[in-house]
């Protein structure tokens, strides 16, 4: 059967998305103080939810979330995370380019770049609330695109 036109379109979209992720992480690396706004808004939201809940168990859970956010969403960790994501996404971007050329090497680079980003991100931020907040959308993107390319790997040269 071979590869269809949808493969080319999806490969192009993946390339654009990875380029956008690289560009946004370069900007995050240059201005890591943007994480302060994110941390502040999340902390305010958690404080409001803590006050509104009448359950002592939930209040303890909110306290743990607040401590996790204060410890992990810092400028230094965010700058390191941005650098790691730049490196991993550039590798995945090269993989995406090779996948568009129907090369098996592209699949390996794409998988390696995505795994590097996810493993390193969870390593720096942990599996707490802050780690999942930062990584959830990239995790979904990586799973969907990886499953698609693995299903099409038989057609790669």
Alpha helix (H) residue ranges in 53-74: 56-72
* Residue 57, pLDDT score: 81
Any domain includes 53 = yes
Any domain includes 84 = yes
Any domain includes 55 = yes
Any domain includes 74 = yes
Any domain includes 77 = yes
> What does the alpha-carbon distance between residue 6 and residue 154 come to, in Å, rounded to a whole number?
16
What is the rounded average pLDDT of the residues 59-73? 88
Does pLDDT of 2 surpass 70?
no
Domain residues for the domain of 81 are 5-151
> What does the alpha-carbon distance between residue 38 and residue 96 come to, in Å, rounded to a whole number?
30
pLDDT tens profile 86-134: 999 999 999 999 998 889 999 999 999 999 999 999 998 889 888 898 8
Any domain includes 50 = yes
> What does the alpha-carbon distance between residue 85 and residue 118 come to, in Å, rounded to a whole number?
9
Residue bearing the bigger pLDDT, 157 or 43: 43
* Residue 1, pLDDT score: 52
Any domain includes 156 = no
Predicted TM-score (pTM) of the model is: 0.85
CB-based contacts of 105: which residues, under 8 Å, 6+ apart? 95, 98
Any domain includes 157 = no
Q: Domain total for the chain?
A: 1
């Amino acid at each position: 059967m071979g590869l269809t036109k949808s493969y080319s379109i999806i490969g192009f979209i993946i390339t654009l998305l990875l380029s956008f992720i690289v560009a946004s992480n370069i900007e995050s690396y240059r201005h890591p103080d943007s994480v302060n706004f994110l941390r502040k808004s999340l902390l305010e939201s958690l404080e409001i939810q803590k006050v509104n809940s009448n359950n002592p168990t939930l209040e303890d859970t909110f306290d743990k979330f607040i401590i996790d956010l204060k410890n992990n969403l810092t400028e230094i960790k965010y700058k390191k995370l941005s650098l790691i994501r730049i490196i991993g996404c550039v590798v995945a971007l090269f993989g995406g380019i090779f996948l568009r050329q129907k090369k098996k090497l592209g699949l390996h680079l794409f998988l390696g770049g995505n795994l590097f980003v996810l493993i390193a991100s969870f390593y720096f931020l942990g599996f707490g609330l802050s780690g999942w907040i930062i990584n959830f959308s990239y995790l979904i993107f990586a799973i969907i695109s990886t499953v698609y390319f693995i299903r099409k790997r038989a057609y790669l040269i």
